[in-house]
């Protein structure tokens, strides 16, 4: 499973990209608005930091304006993916962009029927929102299972399942077990995946035991390099 991070915060993107765990980025108008910055400038910076796909969402709701906005966004960098809503106009734009060779992420998917339409329109990614379905009493992970099953049944479908609206590590793990291709995670969720109380407890014990030795790995008086050098000279 590939990990995208769902943010427009340049600091977060730069820091998490340094871990080597970030395969791409997803943004939307709400996330960009939080930065208080110009959308195009933010998009340029993100694309320069992350070489993988960067989803940039159009703000228009009619096909022609979506196409105009999307073409402008696609010109920012080669790794831009145009994000459109799962509406009739959005799918028309998806087909046009796909025919032009521009990858598309179809967002706001809430049913398997919608996911089939996105695949037939040529989407590179479809983004089912698991958390928002959970919020209304449905099971968002059931939708992921249905879409993966359907897509696997039709080899001609090349659309990848991009799990969105992720609320915790369990969403990521269960989606991975089902075979979803990508999960887009808020930075806090990705950071939370590092955590386990036994990891913290084990590290604390290791550090306490090491402190008792009074040694420092960086101290050349006690590290193996100095001792090894002396041994080599004696053997010579």
Q: What is the pLDDT of residues 34-90, one digit of tens each?
A: 999 999 999 999 999 999 999 999 999 999 999 999 999 999 999 999 999 999 999
Q: Return the pLDDT at 235.
A: 46
Q: What is the mean pLDDT of the chain?
A: 93
138 and 154 inside one domain: yes
120 token code pair = 């037939």
CA distances in angstroms from 28 to 9, 32, 59, 201, 219, listed in the order given = 12, 6, 9, 39, 49
Q: What angle do CA 9, 111, 131 make, to 5 degrees?
A: 40
Residue 13 neighbours by CB under 8 Å, 6+ apart: 5, 7, 22, 25, 46, 49, 50
Please state, in angstroms and rounded to a whole number, the distance separating the CA atoms of residues 128 and 111: 8
> For 176-197, what is the mean pLDDT?
97
β-sheet bridge partners, residue 2 = 182
181 and 210 inside one domain: no
Q: Any idea which residues carry the catalytic annotation?
A: 83
105 and 147 inside one domain: yes
129 and 223 inside one domain: no
Domain boundary residue, one of 192, 207, 227:
192
pLDDT tops 80 at residue 12: yes
46 and 17 inside one domain: yes
113 and 15 inside one domain: yes
Of the pLDDT bands very low, low, confident and very high (cuts 50, 70, 90), residue 233 is: very low
171 and 201 inside one domain: no
58 and 159 inside one domain: yes
Q: For residue 151, what is the domain's CATH number?
A: 3.20.20.70
CA 11 from centroid of its chain's CA atoms: 16
188 and 204 inside one domain: no
Cβ(70)–Cβ(58) below 8 Å? yes
Q: Return the pLDDT at 226.
A: 46
β-sheet bridge partners, residue 161 = 126
107 token code pair = 């967002």
Percent of the chain scored above 70 by pLDDT?
93
Taking residue 167's Cβ as centre, other Cβ atoms within 10 Å add up to 16
The total number of structural domains that make up the chain = 2
Upper half-sphere CA count for residue 16 (Cβ side, 13 Å): 28
Q: What's the chain's Rg over C-alpha atoms? A: 23
Please state, in angstroms and rounded to a whole number, the distance separating the CA atoms of residues 86 and 80: 19
Q: Return the pLDDT at 21.
A: 96
Q: Beta 54-57 vs 80-85: how paired, if at all?
A: parallel
Cβ(29)–Cβ(21) below 8 Å? no
Domain boundary residue, one of 159, 175, 192:
192
48 and 146 inside one domain: yes
Cβ(166)–Cβ(130) below 8 Å? yes
183 and 94 inside one domain: yes
93 and 171 inside one domain: yes
Which alpha helices (DSSP H) does the chain contain, by range? 10-17, 29-35, 39-49, 63-74, 88-100, 112-120, 130-135, 140-153, 169-178, 187-192, 197-213, 224-235
Q: 118: domain range?
A: 2-192
């Amino acid at each position: 499973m590939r990990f995208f991070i769902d943010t427009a915060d340049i600091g977060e993107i730069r820091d998490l990209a340094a871990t080597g765990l970030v395969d791409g980025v997803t943004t939307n108008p709400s996330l960009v608005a939080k930065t208080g910055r110009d959308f195009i400038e933010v998009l340029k910076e993100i694309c320069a930091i992350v070489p993988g796909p960067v989803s940039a969402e159009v703000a228009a709701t009619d096909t022609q304006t979506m196409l105009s906005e999307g073409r402008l966004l696609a010109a920012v960098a080669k790794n831009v993916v145009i994000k459109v809503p799962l509406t009739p106009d959005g799918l028309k734009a998806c087909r046009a962009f796909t025919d032009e060779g521009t990858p598309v992420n179809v967002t706001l998917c809430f049913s398997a029927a919608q996911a089939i339409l996105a695949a037939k329109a040529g989407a590179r990614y479809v983004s089912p929102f698991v958390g928002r379905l959970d919020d209304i009493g449905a099971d968002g992970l059931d939708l992921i299972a249905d879409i993966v099953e359907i897509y696997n049944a039709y080899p001609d479908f090349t659309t990848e399942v991009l799990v969105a609206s992720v609320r915790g590590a369990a969403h990521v793990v269960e989606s991975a077990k089902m075979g979803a291709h990508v999960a887009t995670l808020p930075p806090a969720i990705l950071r939370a995946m590092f955590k386990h109380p036994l990891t913290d407890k084990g590290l604390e014990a290791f550090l306490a035991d090491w402190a008792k030795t009074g040694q420092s790995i960086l101290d050349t008086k006690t590290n193996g390099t100095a001792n090894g050098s002396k041994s080599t000279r004696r053997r010579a």
